[in-house]
Amino acid sequence: MTESLTTTANETAELRHLVGGAWRAGDGAQRESTNPARPDEVVARYRIAGDALLDEAVAAAQGAAREWAAAGAIARGRVLRKAAGLLAERAESVALLMTREEGKTLPESRAEVELSVETLHYHAGQGRSADGVSYPSGHPDELIRTVRRPLGVVAAITPWNFPLQIPAWKLAPALLCGNTAVWKPASETVAVAVAFAEVLAEAGLPDGVLNLLLGPGELGADLVARPEIDGVTFTGSVPVGRSIQAAVLPRGAKVQLELGGHNAAIVLPDVDKGEAAEAIVAGAMSSTGQKCTATRRVIAVGEAYDALVPELVSRVRALVVGDGCAEPSRIGPLVSARAREEVTAAVAQAEREGARVLARPDQRPPENGHFVEPTVLEGETGLTICQEEVFGPVVTLLRADSLDEAIEIANGTRFGLTAAVFSCDERVVRRCVAELDAGLVKVNAPNTGSELHAPFGGLKESSFPAPREQNAESSAEFFTWSKTAYLRTGTPA
């Protein structure tokens, strides 16, 4: 493995692509990633991958597939375990790089690195798990068992909001299952992607098993359209996900899509409003609201509404917005100027449609950088912002007269990723778990957050109906084909 140019946490990095075990210069236009808290600060430079490099990456993945599949799950797990150790050693520098490039606060970046290390360890351990199921046979000298084989070459297209964790969710099980991969990360967080690819390469992946290509969305579209790609795992927007689905399914390849969300939190009168507000603010505002699982709508039932308002207001007013590397900051910038404009425009539209601002921080955010004010709106379900996902620290408070109405409001969007309910009544909780249209239902906890060993995925337009992410069994279901073998002993000649 040839050595890459080092990605540091303090200087502008000159990035290359990983193709066939070599770090290669791009053959396209030059691009930069910048610090969203200080847009004049260039974090990384690179030349995008063109058609020739894409051809080489796919060919390298194909060429390495047979040997990697034959290596066995235990050997593949050892590579992931070594990668976990290397990432843990570099945790602080990778976290700082993430904050500089994506904008989230340094504590949030450190937590993401830690969870990514745990993800690698978790999937590494699965290399020693049972790899099939045995069934009885009607023949006395026959064994029936299932076996799995890898898909082959997997394309992974990952977003910028979790530039390390989501790639770890996807790449670790894909590689453990014996697949090779071509990975196209988001353009906003290419330096973090290179840092992770360096870790995996240095851990001992054979040449061609992991290939990293940097470039715009068009590069991802070209990648998934290649007939050599046997499976695609994607996290991002609904329109892009549906275009991938249309391109890939007709040729019989597998598709895994995790898309948007418009997540509701229902608050009942019987619960402590301070604790509910604390969880709601965390779910709506952490990571600057740039999570597909973030709380977008709060539905307060009956008298819970008036009691919840001051609790939400006081907590949002106390938020400190600023550079994620600065110690007092709890909310960092949005990832780009475009993101800031979209969130600002959505809030302005909501106000024109009749929404009222209930709360913003007392301290104004810095003028330089892609900062927005975390905002709590008060409004009605007919607001555009209550139907279309706004990827920022904005939440709308809605009123419901009954639990029936609250569930109807919560389910009244095309999305179904997460939902939360705050209540001490077991009957209410059970009903919400059963009736809310969400792949993840949280009880007395923020909409955001999930355990890496539990299945993750949504309903309706939030996901494509494929096996879930994260959980080892669900991941294996997606990243392999299952075969059934009927084994009888032969009679010697």
Question: Could you give the CA distance from residue 10 to residue 93 in angstroms, rounded to a whole number?
Answer: 9
Question: Could you give the CA distance from residue 176 to residue 158 in angstroms, rounded to a whole number?
Answer: 18
Nearest to 279 by CA among 112, 422, 400, 379: 422
pLDDT number for residue 2 = 39
Sheet containing 356-359: give its strands across: 356-359, 375-378, 394-400, 295-301, 263-267, 418-422, 440-443
Catalytic residue chosen out of the listed positions 102, 108, 112, 258: 258
Please give the DSSP secondary-structure letter assigned to residue 332: -
Model pTM above 0.75:
yes
Catalytic residue chosen out of the listed positions 56, 101, 198, 292: 292
Residues of the chain with pLDDT under 50: 1-7
How far, in Å, are 158, 224, 230, 248, 377 from residue 233 at the CA level? 8, 10, 10, 11, 35
pLDDT number for residue 107 = 97
Element (H, E) at 400: strand 394-400
In the block, residue with structure tokens 């957050």: 449
Q: How many CB atoms lie within 10 A of CB 52?
A: 10
Domains in the chain with CATH codes: 13-259+464-485 (3.40.605.10), 263-443 (3.40.309.10)
pLDDT number for residue 10 = 65
pLDDT number for residue 143 = 96
pLDDT digits (tens, 9 = 90+) for 164-202: 999 999 999 999 999 999 999 999 999 999 999 999 999
Known catalytic membership, residue 386: no
**With contact defined as beta carbons under 8 Å apart, do 182 and 197 qualify?**
no
pLDDT number for residue 469 = 85
3-state secondary structure of 203: coil
**With contact defined as beta carbons under 8 Å apart, do 36 and 369 qualify?**
yes
pLDDT digits (tens, 9 = 90+) for 387-399: 999 999 999 999 9
Question: Could you give the CA distance from residue 452 to residue 80 in angstroms, rounded to a whole number?
Answer: 16
In the block, residue with structure tokens 């509404």: 305
Question: Could you give the CA distance from residue 413 to residue 408 in angstroms, rounded to a whole number?
Answer: 10
**With contact defined as beta carbons under 8 Å apart, do 436 and 233 qualify?**
no
Known catalytic membership, residue 102: no
In the block, residue with structure tokens 């955001």: 448
